Amino acid sequence: MVKVTLQEVTKRFGKTTAVNRISVEIEKGEFIVLLGPSGCGKTTLLRCISGLEKVTEGRILFNEGDVTNLPPKDRNISMVFQNYAVWPHLKVKDNIGFPLKIKKKPTQEIETKVKWASEMLGITELLDRYPHQLSGGQRQRVAVARAIVMEPEVLLMDEPLSNLDALLRVKMRSEIKKLQESLKVTTIYVTHDQVEAMTMGDRIAVLKDGKLQQIGGSNEIYHKPTNLFVAGFIGSPQMNFINVEVKEEENILIVATSGLEIPLPPAIPIKKSEYILGIRPEDIHIKELPNSTRVTGEIYFVEALRSDTVLHVNTDFGKLVVKIPGDFDAKEGENISLYIDNSKIHLFEKESELSIL
Amino acid sequence: MNQFDYRKLWLYMLLVGFAVFYLMPVYVLLATGLKSLKDVSVSTMWLLPTHPSFEGFEGAVKKLGPNLKNSFMLVIPATLISAFLGSINGYVFSKVRFKGDNVVFALILFGMFIPYQSILFPLIRFLQWVGLYNTIGGLILTHVVYGIPITTLIFRNYYMEVPDELVEAAHIDGAGLFGVYWRVLMPLSIPAFVVVVIWQFTNIWNEFLFAVTVTSSPVKQPITVALVNLAGSQVVQWNMQMAGALLTALPPLLIYIFLGKYFIRGLLAGSVKG
């Protein structure tokens, strides 16, 4: 188990900056998820940590040791790739045993460890097969078994589940998380799937355009997004955004736009007048509740998911998406009253896109 | 339905026609090779031998035997060495990469377009200088060097189709530059090796110009040169020459027959996802 420290890590390819001055401290045994849209630099950052890419600037430390310029094989890491990367010419047991064989471990030890790793992943009966005789899910298990067989100090995973079908993905999600907990190995996991990130990560690092946007637990990322991007990227359906002004009336700050006025809690640092109000779909209700703001509109689309119902409502200040738990009998074209929970609103500066509430 | 069958019939007749046309010389080779010298004449060229005789083949084996051995001594090491060098080059140009690698690769490919004739004089001078003139070793060296461009190209294209992750996974698991080659790429490239072996074997076996210029003494010459020398001697022994030509053509033919299916598979490998 090591602590991984990234200090101002920067990676440039020619003139494009893929990773831009990222500094993170990853604790021993922590499961951290790098989350972001495609092209945000998350995979590049992972490859920098693995040593497959050389960093342009900055340092990478494992505990106190500087590994910035070490080749991958000297970092005591292992990696699981998106496309499995199991070697087609080797049987499952030889795939799993490969890292040990390279390090010239005695045959007896290789056998024991391969057995242990395959038991952890439940693939003992597949050991004598070739990869082409396996399903995608089984190949992924082989790849994970190969990654843990060396008991690495850092385990890197690059979208390991994105090639699996939906059901299997959910199953593997919990299995990988449990496996990591029992091995207590420091794990860095790359994904573009926010559900994976929320369910698996001890902490989530959200990236965009090579820059770290926010790092924190799922609770923090979801409820206290630091900027407009994080607020919009996390959560499904997406947070509602409304362009608003902030004005002062009778010593109370309120956000306002046509047909909407919401009082703000005191002590909010207000400078400019243009802001973006954010409210999550589940924080808009169809029953009145204390400290809420009523708005009206016309339903124009209903997503009946049965576990919950998503309403798209046209209002005076634009479209609002509302999520209500359970079945809800709504007809398109109907008028509806909505109640925005005043305590759940977010406010972002329009120019800097930073959150101030 | 009937129409379809007729078309197929026509197609097959056409194919059979081409095959017959193509195999005609082989028939003459075989028929004449199996005749005794006194039975050989232009007027009976197309007829099967009335009294089959192995006289021609016996003579050919006796005369060409040592040269046949020379050819094998040449073609086996030259093929294996050039295949090996090609795969190492292909690995470097597809998976290792370095600054300016594309320029170097282009220069290597350029070697394919250098005509044999244009380098004969410097080649001979060089071989004399290093003491390999008039030796099979000299021919091996020549063919290995001349084979580098094509073998490099075939292996590089093959390795380009191998996902980078297979190489990267091996690096992470502790394999170095050569570990990756020995343990991952080489075992994966058997189809490419088959293609290159067939290609090089056939080319080197059939090659004449280098053979006749580099090896001047008859005992050192490969079978292609010896076969031509056979034609030049006193009375033309048609039956022996025909038998000799068949003998000369046999090894590449056998290579194709035994490795042919891998050849096709190798050419197609990577183009279709498995």
Residue A164 — very low, low, confident or very high, per pLDDT cuts 50/70/90? confident
> Residue A238: pLDDT above 90?
yes
- Chain A residues 144-163 with a CB less than 8 Å from chain B: 146, 150
CA distance B108 to chain A (A): 27
Residue of chain A minimizing CA distance to B168: A52
B-chain CB neighbours of A85 within 8 Å are: 163, 165-166, 168-169
pLDDT band, very low/low/confident/very high, at A46 (cuts 50, 70, 90)? very high
Lowest-pLDDT choice from A164-168, A228-232, B42-46, B99-103: B42-46
Residue A69 sits in the same domain as residue A160:
yes
Q: Is B51 helix (H, G, I), strand (E, B) or coil?
A: coil
In-domain check, residue A268: yes
Mean pLDDT of A16-21: 94
The pLDDT > 70 percentage for chain B reads: 93
Report pLDDT for B272.
37
Helices A166-183 and A136-148: crossing angle, nearest 10°?
10
The model's confidence at residue A246, banded by pLDDT at 50, 70 and 90, is confident
pLDDT of residue B265: 65
Instruction: Name the residue facing B166 among A52, A85, A150 (closest C-beta).
Output: A85
The answer on A206 and A244 residing in a single domain is no
What is the DSSP track for B240-260?
HHHHHHHHHHHHHHHHHHHHH
Residue A357 placed within a domain: no
pLDDT band at A184 (very low <50, low <70, confident <90, very high): very high
Q: How confident is the model at residue A1 (pLDDT cuts 50, 70, 90)?
A: confident
pLDDT digits (tens, 9 = 90+) for A108-151: 999 999 999 999 999 999 999 999 889 888 999 999 999 999 89
pLDDT for the residue A354: 92
> Would residue A354 count as lying in a domain?
no
User: Per-domain residue ranges for chain B?
Assistant: 1-53, 56-268
Closest to A13 in 3D by CA, of A51, A46, A41: A41
Q: Is the pLDDT of residue B54 over 60?
A: yes
**ipTM exceeding 0.95?**
no
Same domain, A215 and A249: no
Do residue A85 and residue B169 have CB atoms under 8 angstroms apart?
Answer: yes
B122 touches chain A (CB under 8 A): no
Which residue from A265, A279, A268 is spatially nearest to A225, judged by alpha carbons?
A279
Q: Residue A262: pLDDT above 90?
A: no
Domain count, chain A: 2
Question: What sections of A122-212 are H helices per DSSP?
Answer: 136-148, 166-183, 194-200
A53: CATH = 3.40.50.300
pLDDT tens for B110-162 read 988 888 889 899 999 999 999 999 999 999 999 999 999 999 999 999 999 88
pLDDT at B267: 56
Helix, strand or coil for residue A167? Answer: helix
Interface contact B187, partner A, CB < 8 A: yes
- Indicate which of A53, A81, A94, A130 best probes the interface with B, i.e. most B CBs within 10 Å of its own CB: A81
Residues A152 and A297 in one domain: no
| Mean pLDDT (chain A, rounded) | 92
| Domain enclosing residue A303, as ranges | 240-349
How near does any CA of chain A get to the CA of B226, in Å?
44
Q: Do B187 and A78 touch (CB under 8 A)?
A: no
- Interface contact B161, partner A, CB < 8 A: no
A134 lies in a domain? yes
* Same structural domain, A164 and A263: no
pLDDT at A188: 97
Domain end among A218, A233, A248? A233
Interface contacts A/B by beta carbons within 8 Å: 58
Residue that terminates a domain, selected from A233, A254, A284: A233
Contact A102 B175 (CB under 8 A): yes
Residues A218 and A277 in one domain: no
The minimal CB distance from A72 to the residues B171, B184, B274 is found for: B171
Model confidence at A229, pLDDT cuts 50, 70, 90, reads very high
Mean pLDDT of B210-239: 83
Give the best residue of A77, A78, A87 to mutate against chain B (max B CB count within 10 A). Answer: A87
Q: Strand, helix or coil at A197?
A: helix
What is the pLDDT, as a whole number, of residue B35? 85
Residue B242 scores a pLDDT above 90: no
Which among A87, A103, A132 has CB closest to B174?
A103
Tell if the CB–CB gap between B176 and A73 is shorter than 8 Å. yes
> For A29-38, what is the mean pLDDT?
95
Residues A161 and A222 both lie in one domain: yes
From CA A210, how far away is CA A205, in angstroms rounded? 12
**Which strands make up the sheet holding A252-257, listed edge to edge?**
A260-263, A252-257, A240-249, A274-279, A346-349
Window from A311-315, B51-55, B188-192, B222-226 with minimum mean pLDDT: B51-55
The verdict on A219 and A256 lying in the same domain is no
pLDDT at B273: 36
Of A35-39, A214-218, B187-191, B235-239, the one with minimum mean pLDDT is B235-239
Contact with chain A for residue B274, Cβ under 8 A: yes
Question: What's the confidence (pLDDT) of residue A252?
Answer: 66
Q: Is residue A99 part of a domain?
A: yes
**Which residue of chain A has the CA closest to B166?**
A85
Please report the pLDDT score of residue B234 as a whole number.
66
Mean pLDDT confidence for B209-228: 89
The CATH architecture of the domain made up of B56-268 is Orthogonal Bundle (1.10)
Q: Is residue B263 pLDDT above 80, yes or no?
A: no
A199 and A275 in a single domain? The answer is no
Q: What is the pTM of this model?
A: 0.84
Check if the beta carbon of residue A308 is closer than 8 Å to that of residue A188.
no
- Per CB-CB distance under 8 Å, the chain B contacts of A52 are 168, 171-172
Closest Cβ–Cβ partner in B165, B175, B184 for A73: B175
Closest B-chain CA to A104:
B174
Q: Is B78:B145 a contact under the CB 8 Å cutoff?
A: no
Question: Tokens representing A170?
Answer: 């959910």
| A355, part of any domain | no
Cα dihedral: B34, B37, B39, B43 (round 10): 100
The verdict on A138 and A263 lying in the same domain is no
Quick check: helix, strand or coil at residue B66? helix
| A262 shares a domain with A135 | no
Three-state secondary structure call for residue A128:
coil
Give the other-Cβ count within 10 Å of B36's Cβ. 15
Does the beta carbon of A136 lie under 8 angstroms from any beta carbon of chain B? no
**What is the β-pairing status of strands A77-80 and A154-158?**
parallel
My answer on whether A225 and A264 are in the same domain is no
pLDDT above 80 (res B253): yes
Judged against a pLDDT cut of 50, whether residue B270 lies above it is answered with: no
Domain boundary residue, one of A233, A261, A277: A233
Mean pLDDT of A74-88: 92
